[in-house]
Structure 1
Amino acid sequence: MAREHSTYVVVGAGLAGAATTWRLAEAGHDVTLVERGEPADHRGSSHGSARIFRYAYPSALYTDLVLRARPLWSELEAAAGERLITRTGCLDWGERRDPLALARSLEEIGVEHEVLTPAAASERWPIRFESTVLWHADAGVIDAERSVNAMVALANSHGARLRTGWDVRKVERTTTGYRLRTSAGDTIDAEHVILCAGGFLPQLLHNLDVDARFVEAMPALKVTQEQAYHFPYGDSDDWPTFIHKADAIQTYSLPGGRDAEFRGQKLAEYAVGKAIGSAYEQDGRIDPANRERLIAYVKENLPGLVPEPYAETTCLFTTTPTEDFVLDRTGNLTVISPCSGHGAKFAPLIGLLAAALAGARTPAAGRAVLPREFLVGGSLRGAL
């Protein structure tokens, strides 16, 4: 059994953990990133080549955070020497989406957009629309896996260590900080621990040697196993991302990238998957009823796609009751859960916020400071 020591240990090499490790290492801190599988592991929430980047939120806070995150993505792309966001534009429509409210939000932050009638939108895209449609062209698709690997590589170049196959099951307090134990009995001693464990976090929270009141006050983290499908393009592969929220169904969609061999559109129903206790309980099985609903949806609403799903997959959503994020700290232990199915677009910003919350000073931290009114007692829980 091996034993190590590190000033900072980050648990989880998904988007949040990789971003946090990059920023800590860039600032010269001694940091180790541990991951139960591999970076962007397929049993986590940051795998694959397709996540939506968009600006449209009804919340002014989130739209502001997207604006803060976008130049950090550009910084990451420049440092990594590769494109990580592909510009596709995004459509929003449906009775429950309120495109006009979203348009007002974009107007306030200065993001260019258009509001279209259903007929006008259908002339531009092979989609049937039943409501007013919002279009903003600067949205796009994030390559999640390449983003994770880029940030891990940058962290390594600044001296960070990566430990894979490291399944943290317990965090104990010591006289100098914390000791992390794996299921195999390996340990790392750390002065500061930052948990970015995604769908594995609910179980890990029950094995933390911290004040029980901290865990009890944490918003409930619900883990669900969702499913997504790819549908072949018909006459055109020039498709945007979109979010459609009708009374009967809520869906999101985006060009599938490498996951779809660049020949199909990724489509999923939003947050309808089966609840599981934690990511350890996922089985990767597709719900046949869900598949049939999405096939019927394509036939009715997306005439530009072939209603024959392929490259079916499951993924994990970790959500809070309000769909807000959790960034919180007790002692020298920090919990980061930018979850709820929409956290990927904020990854480089989350890394700065997590490093700052954990007490580390980074050269770029000043660009990511949240408004003072959202800071309550040093905690960011509920602020996002």
Structure 2
Amino acid sequence: MSTCIVVGAGLAGAATAWQLARRGHDVTVLERSTPANGEGSSHGSARILRYAYPDPFYARLVVDARREWDELERLAGERLVTSTGSVDFGADRDPAALAAVFEEVGVDHELLTGAEAAARWPQFDFGDRGADVLWHPDAGVIDAEAAVAAMLRLARAGGARVETGRPVASVERAGAGLRAVGADGRAEEAEKVVVTAGGWLPGLLGDLALPESFLAAFPPLQVMQENAYHFPYRAGSDGSWPTFIHGIPSMLVYGLPGGRDAALPGGRTGLKVAEYNGGRPIRGAAAQSGEIDPANRARVTAYVRRTLPGLVPEPYAETTCLFTNTPTEDFVIDGVDGITVASPCSGHGAKFAPLLGRIIADAASGERAAPARFRVSRRE
């Protein structure tokens, strides 16, 4: 077994640490702040777990990931995924094509007309009464912060050490091994290093002792500061909201029950609504301001007023988060000479977390390469 350092304790890092520790590796996690902190991409209680992808590769991956979530919940002894079901609608979402993928992959679903969907979910305005609306009941909402805590707890039970307040500035070669060095000079040595640094990765990538050929082939990463809003439910509509994705020519909008993120006095909650990649590009996590874009707020609020009559179109809470995008929105899991770099985000990585931990651990330990689609050297 190997000594391993995992850089970053978000969803991907926590999952990787757990998978490595349960196999008997000596694991140290170095987290720049605290696990699932608000400056990253894994904080809060509300991420969508949905199966609807136009690409069967990712739809199958969700099927596999759900089994991993079930195992994680069993071992952690807590519920981390709340079932809600999900609807996909809008011409740019192409529900019929998504339904065809579900048929191929074997995901339970219904293809409804807009009129049928409106009768079932009157809190939505689905527009064209004859248009397709896709429903799949096995979708849900992930408690991201609780999932990170559960996986780190299991990693510690397997012998892992989790160090907080330990930002890594570089990774160096140290004899036959590697050394992760912080800005304060503190260092940890190991045989293998896994970097799951999220929005901090673009600023770190060139300091990881990776070959120039690997760096030249690495896809460019674009960090986005995204905006999300919580809208209150109207009276009588707060108990039956599915998650949703709505594709229209001007924007792609998603929504989900907000959980703790949307808590109101008296135990009431609201719906989290956001425009996918509707934020602004930044140079990396260090450049984030946490400031909401007023134009985006106005655009999403206008959308809610038009399309979600079950909500009061006045956000009572708002926040920012980071997406770290590749040009194709495919994940990156690859490495060389003992260093594995993982960037499984592009705004849709959370649902795969425990499965990605397994894939990253396989790659880092040399047991199995990541799928060709995730490798820097692929493009096959």
What TM-score does the superposition give when structure 1 sets the normalisation length? 0.93
Unaligned runs of 5+ in 1: 1-5
The structural deviation recorded for 1:375 is 3.8
Aligned twin of 1:322: 328
d(CA) in 2 for partners of 1:244, 1:127: 11
Q: Indicate which of 32, 37, 40 corresponds to 1:36.
A: 32
Supply the AA of the counterpart residue of 2:344. Answer: P
Aligned residues with identical type, % of pairs: 57
In structure 2, the partner of 1:346 is 352
Amino acid at match of 2:322: L
Partner residue in 2 for 1:75: 71
Distance 1:203 1:218 in 2: 14
Q: Which residue of 2 is the match for residue 66 of structure 1?
A: 62
Are 1:132 and 2:132 an aligned pair? yes
| Partners of 2:100 and 2:255 in 1: CA distance | 23
- Partner deviation per Cα, 1:306-340 (whole Å, 9 max, x = no partner): 11102200000000001100011111000111111
Q: Distance in 2 between matches of 1:80 and 1:383?
A: 38
Q: Residue 325 of structure 1 contacts residue 381 of structure 1 at CA under 8 Å; is this kept in 2?
A: no
CA distance in 1, matches of 2:242, 2:51: 14
Cα distance in 2 for partners of 1:300, 1:38 equals 39
The answer on whether the counterparts of 2:214 and 2:376 sit within 8 Å (CA) in structure 1 is no
For the pair 1:155 / 2:155, whether they are aligned, the reply is: yes
The answer (yes or no) to whether the contact 1:173–1:210 under 8 Å persists in 2 is no
Cα deviation 1:163-212 (Å, max 9, x = unaligned) = 00011111111212211111121111111000100000001002122211
State yes or no: 1:144 paired with 2:144.
Answer: yes
1:263-300, Cα deviation, whole Å (9 max, x unpaired): 10000011021111110110100011111111111111
Distance 1:106 1:383, change over 3 A: farther
Q: Which residue of 1 aligns with 2:250?
A: 248
Amino acid at match of 1:241: T
Deviations 1:84-127 (A, max 9, x none): 00000001011111100100111112111111111111111111
Contact 1:93/1:99 (8 A) holds in 2: yes
Gaps of 5+ in 2: none
The offset of 1:132, in angstroms, is 1.4
- Runs of 4+ deviating beyond 6 Å: none
**TM-score, structure 2 normalization:** 0.94
Tell whether 2:204 aligns with 1:225: no
Q: Distance in 2 between matches of 1:177 and 1:124?
A: 59
Within 2, Cα distance between the matches of 1:311 and 1:83?
25
Indicate the residue corresponding to 2:23 in structure 1. 27
Displacement of 1:253 in angstroms is 0.5
Change (3 A) 1:164 1:241: same
Which whole-Å deviations, capped at 9, do the CAs of 1:13-46 have from their partners, x for residues lacking one? 0010000000111111101011001111110100
